Amino acid sequence: MSVRPTSLETLAVAAGRPAHEPGGPLNTPITLATALVPGGASEYTRHGHPGWEAFEEAVGALEGGNAVSFGSGMAATVAVLELLPVGAKVVAADGSYYGTTVELERRARRGLIKLELVDVTDTEAVIAAAADAAMVWLESPTNPALDVADIRAICAAVTAVGTAVVVDNTLATPLRQRPLDLGADFVVHSASKLLSGHSDVLMGVVVTHDDRAARALATRRTSLGSVPGSLEAYLALRGLRTLHVRLDRAEDNATEIAARLLERTDVTGVRYPGFGTMVSFEVAGGAEAAQRATEASEVVVHATSLGGVESTWERRRRHAGEPANVPESLVRLSVGIENVEDVWEDIARSLDAVSTGAPAGGARREPQRTSGWV
What SS3 class is residue 136? Answer: strand
As a whole number, mean pLDDT of residues 159-179 equals 97
Alpha helices in 130-196 (DSSP H): 151-158
Average pLDDT over residues 237-265: 98
114 is catalytic: no
Is the pLDDT at 3 greater than 80, yes or no?
A: no
186 confidence band (pLDDT: 50, 70, 90): very high
For residues 136 and 184, what is the distance between their CA atoms, to the nearest angstrom?
A: 10
CA-to-CA separations, 154 to 150, 161, 177, in angstroms, rounded? 6, 12, 15
Q: How far apart are CA 70 and CA 222, in angstroms?
A: 10
Nearest partner of 35 among 24, 26, 46, judged by Cα: 46
Higher pLDDT, 50 or 269: 269
**Mean pLDDT estimate for the chain:** 91
pLDDT of 275 strictly over 80: yes
- Judged against a pLDDT cut of 60, whether residue 364 lies above it is answered with no
Region 310-314: what's the mean pLDDT?
98
Predicted local confidence at residue 4, as pLDDT: 64
At residue 305, the pLDDT reads: 87
Instruction: Report phi then psi at 312, rounded to 5.
Output: -135, 155
Residue 340 class from Cβ within 10 Å (0-12 exposed, 13-18 middle, 19+ buried)?
A: buried
Catalytic entry in 17, 97, 272, 316: 97
Is 234 one of the catalytic residues? no
DSSP string, 163-175: -EEEEE-TTT-TT
Q: Report the C-alpha gap between 91 and 95 in whole angstroms.
A: 12
Q: pLDDT above 70 covers what percent of the chain?
A: 94
**Amino acid letter, residue 209:** H
The C-alpha atoms of residue 221 and residue 219 are separated, in whole angstroms, by 5
pLDDT of residue 356: 52
pLDDT score, position 360: 37
CA pseudo-torsion sign 35, 38, 43, 48 = negative
Q: Give DSSP secondary structure letters for 251-298.
A: HHHHHHHHHHHTT-SSEEEEE--SSSSEEEEEETT-HHHHHHHHHH-S
Active-site residue, 97 included: yes
Strands 135-139, 113-118: pairing kind: unpaired
The string of pLDDT tens digits covering residues 40-57 is: 777 777 887 888 899 999
pLDDT at 362 over 70: no
Rounded Cα–Cα distance for residues 97 and 299 (Å): 26
CA distance 144 to 193: 14
Kindly tell me if the per-residue pLDDT of 320 is higher than 90.
no
Distance from the Cα of residue 278 to its chain's centroid:
11
Look at residue 358 and tell me whether its pLDDT is greater than 80.
no
E strand or H helix that includes residue 206: strand 204-208
Say whether 118 sits in a helix, a strand or coil. strand
Output the pTM of the full model. 0.91
**DSSP helix/strand/coil, 217:** helix
What integer pLDDT is reported at residue 5 of this predicted model? 60
Q: How confident is the model at residue 372 (pLDDT cuts 50, 70, 90)?
A: very low
Q: Is 69 helix (H, G, I), strand (E, B) or coil?
A: strand
Which is catalytic among the residues 17, 147, 150, 168? 168
| Per-residue pLDDT reduced to its tens digit, 100-137 | 999 999 999 999 999 999 999 999 999 999 999 999 99
Phi and psi dihedrals of 303, rounded to 5? -155, 160
Residue 370 pLDDT exceeds 70: no
Mean pLDDT for the stretch of residues 24-46: 83
- Residue 343's closest CA among 282, 300, 294? 300
Q: Catalytic site residue 46? A: yes
Percent of the chain with pLDDT over 90: 80
**Is residue 366 pLDDT above 50, yes or no?**
no
Of 193, 241, 246, 264, the catalytic one is: 193
How far apart are the C-alpha atoms of 315 and 346, rounded to whole Å? 16
Pairing of strands 135-139, 88-93: parallel
**Residue 35 — very low, low, confident or very high, per pLDDT cuts 50/70/90?**
confident
pLDDT band at 374 (very low <50, low <70, confident <90, very high): very low
